[in-house]
């Protein structure tokens, strides 16, 4: 009886909190209409969040990552990542296609994945961008996406101390409690 009462009280408390302080939502930056030029250049990975630990597990082996985004001759975007894994530098490339009829980016080789761009204002960082990767459930009976993670990127290697906590707080409000923030203790790879 006490457990039931406590459970009802907690549910009511969460509902009232959400009614008074509703979760904020990030602003979508449609890939087919956004000014791509402003997003070209260097980006530093700051943090990732998800509902599932497995979605962000690969980031935990990294010390730091920075990316360059370039527009190629055929209208695609080339993302080159410079990853520092245990003091070793690894370079990796991803090619994204922009389609006029879609608001997301298509990752070459992963056509089922949706790649969405969101405004960094959700993390109180106008100079940041949030990148979301979503893959559909593995089977028709699954109710949850097989992958759904948000990643925060900044133009600078150092950001205001409030940026990452704001990102984590807003994500937690949407039940994305699994998170990773890279230590950035080693030199950035070149």
- Confidence at 137, pLDDT banded by 50, 70, 90: confident
CA-based nearest residue to 189, from 70, 78, 90, 92 = 90
Quick one: pLDDT at residue 63?
95
Judged against a pLDDT cut of 50, whether residue 14 lies above it is answered with no
Tokens of 24: 């904020």
Domain count, the chain: 1
Confidence band for 6, pLDDT divided at 50, 70 and 90: very low
Q: Is 16 within a domain?
A: no
In percent, the amount of the chain with pLDDT more than 90 equals 74
pLDDT reported for residue 8:
45
**Half-sphere exposure at residue 88, Cβ-oriented, CA atoms within 13 angstroms:** 4
Q: What are phi and psi of 176, to 5 degrees?
A: -100, 85
Q: How far apart are CA 180 and CA 163, in angstroms?
A: 14
Examine residue 23 and state whether it is found in any structural domain, yes or no: no
The verdict on residue 187 lying in a domain is no
| Burial label, 161 (beta-carbon count in 10 A; 0-12, 13-18, 19+) | exposed
Tokens of 125: 């960082």
What is the residue range of 145's domain?
28-181
pLDDT band of residue 141 (cuts 50, 70, 90) is confident
In a domain, 129, yes or no: yes
Question: CATH no. for residue 83?
Answer: 2.40.128.20
Distance of CA 44 to the CA centre of its chain: 12
Q: How does the average pLDDT of the chain come out, rounded?
A: 88
> Is the residue at 156 inside a domain?
yes
CB–CB of 144/22 below 8 Å?
A: no
Q: Answer for the pair 181, 164: CB distance below 8 angstroms, yes or no.
A: yes
In a domain, 135, yes or no: yes
Q: What is the pLDDT of residue 3?
A: 45
If DSSP codes are grouped into helix, strand and coil, which group holds residue 116? strand
Is there a domain that residue 189 lies in?
Answer: no
What is the per-residue pLDDT across 56-108, written as a single tens digit (0 to 9) for each?
Answer: 999 999 999 999 999 998 879 999 999 999 899 999 999 999 999 999 999 99
Percentage of residues of the chain with pLDDT beyond 70: 89
| Per-residue pLDDT reduced to its tens digit, 35-66 | 888 899 999 999 999 999 999 999 999 999 99
By three-state DSSP, how is residue 22 classified? coil
The answer, as to whether pTM is greater than 0.75, is yes
Q: Does a structural domain hold residue 9?
A: no
């Amino acid at each position: 009886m006490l457990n039931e009462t406590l459970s009802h009280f907690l549910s009511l408390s969460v509902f009232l909190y959400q009614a008074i302080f509703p979760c904020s939502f990030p602003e979508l930056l449609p890939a087919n209409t956004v000014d791509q030029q402003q997003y070209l250049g260097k980006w530093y990975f700051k943090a990732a969040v998800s509902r599932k630990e497995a979605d962000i597990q690969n980031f935990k082996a990294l010390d730091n990552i920075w990316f360059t985004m370039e527009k190629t001759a055929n209208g695609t975007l080339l993302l080159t990542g410079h990853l520092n894994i245990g003091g070793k530098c690894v370079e990796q490339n991803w090619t994204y296609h922009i389609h006029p009829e879609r608001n997301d980016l298509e990752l070459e080789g992963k056509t089922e994945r949706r790649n969405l761009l969101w405004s960094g204002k959700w993390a109180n960082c106008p100079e940041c961008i949030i990148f979301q990767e979503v893959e559909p459930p593995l089977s028709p009976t699954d109710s949850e996406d097989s992958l759904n993670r948000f990643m925060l990127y900044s133009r600078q290697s150092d950001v205001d101390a409030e940026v990452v906590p704001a990102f984590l707080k807003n994500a937690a409000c949407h039940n994305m409690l699994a998170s990773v923030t890279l230590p950035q203790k080693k030199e950035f790879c070149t």
